[in-house]
Amino acid sequence: MSVVVEQYNPEWPQQFESIKTELETYLQGVHYLSIEHVGGTSVPGLAAQPIIDVDILVTREDVQPVTDALIANGELDYLGELAIVDRHVFRNSTLTLRHNVYVCVDGVAQTKNHISLRDTLRSNAELRDEYARVKLELAAKATNVVDYIVAKGNVIQKILKASGNFTKEELTAISRANVKGERFGAIHAKRLLLREFIMQDEEGYFELEGNEQNVRYQNWAPRTRQEARQLVLENIRNHNDVPRTIYELAVEHKGRFIGRVGAKTSQANSDSLPGERTIKPVTHADLWFSFLPSMQGQGFATEAMTAFIDAIKGRIQDAGKLEMQIECDPRNEGSWKLAERLGFERHSLTKEARESKGEWVDSLVYQKVVGDVAPESRHVRRGSKVSTSMRLSATELYESCH
């Protein structure tokens, strides 16, 4: 999904005032310091993404009461801190007036970041125009918001230095917060784009997981729209986790959401090769994929999973051996044939492994190991059993492939 940056819209301040009035009703009886318009839309004359950013400034002891009031009274989704301490993130649940709400502890660097950036750009036309040029240039090239945010880092540092409100250590911390970390930027395949989830993916996710055909071999019924929304929110939270253990990416074709690919990683028992004294860490990854029925049979799943597996290997393999598995319902021929096309080998078949939708179903596991591997390690992990222990246990969402 491309990044949209528009020329300044004089209606943005009025939109903020409307949002502020609504927030004030949610926060009646709760103590807070102020509600501030921040971000690009708060600077007259600045090109920006058409999303109103709002900071609710609070003392540290008021974070929880304000957060509770917004959750209870507002049509807002709470995302947590998203890896930036003392900045609690909310997203609006309607698309009529897009906005982000941040509950921020007053005086900390991440709060001063928002306010100082705004105030400096309001008072310095030269920096404002430079920032606008950079944003428009980046938006023209960026295919996802993660790469766009990272690419703005240098000019943001320049603006914050000009404000004179930050120590060297604070500027370093802000710069560190704007790097990718464990998030993925755009992953380009021949016909596809793989990227992190954003809130606008709710409709696509519902189309994907809300129909009977696509969940035929899963343990869950077709997702409701609210369930789809919550799963998108969960993916957004996950991609900010450090360390990150769940990687799920949206797949686009010609700008349209057509599917998802994912992996859940964990540390398996480490082992050593014959003649070696050192213990090599082993990372275990359970993989999954799901694509719209109308997109199946065109090689999109193979193309997406090939790119995704290469990306996962690049993240993990340097740390040691990577053991990947795909678990399927054997009746789902398309899934296990895809595993074979990806070079996975049949690893185990467990009869009547679990009960699903009133019937007992089998579990077919395919496996692929990369890194230095002893021959005997290709089939059995040390200290583990072949069979149902190979399946995900944390949540049924990631239990099998489509």
Q: What is the CATH number of the domain that holds 153?
A: 3.30.460.10
Residue 373 lies in a domain: yes
User: Is this structure's pTM higher than 0.85?
Assistant: no
290 with 255, same domain: the answer is yes
Greatest CA span in the chain, whole angstroms? 71
pLDDT at position 315, please? Answer: 79
pLDDT at position 145, please? Answer: 85
Question: Encoding tokens for residue 241?
Answer: 């986790």
Residue 6 lies in a domain: no
Write out the residue range of the structural domain in which residue 271 sits: 187-398
Residue 349 lies in a domain: yes
pLDDT at position 96, please? Answer: 67
Task: Report percent pLDDT > 90 for the chain.
Answer: 68
116 with 151, same domain: the answer is yes
Mean pLDDT over residues 386-402, rounded? 33
Cβ-proximal residues to 16 (8 Å cutoff; 6+ apart), any chain: 37, 41, 42, 52, 54
143 with 221, same domain: the answer is no
172 with 192, same domain: the answer is no
173 with 192, same domain: the answer is no
User: What is the chain's mean pLDDT, rounded?
Assistant: 87
Give the pLDDT confidence of 28-80 residue by residue, as tens digits: 999 999 999 999 999 999 999 999 999 999 999 999 999 999 999 987 889 99
Residue 5 lies in a domain: no
pLDDT at position 402, please? Answer: 45
Residue 54 lies in a domain: yes
Residue 2 lies in a domain: no
272 with 171, same domain: the answer is no
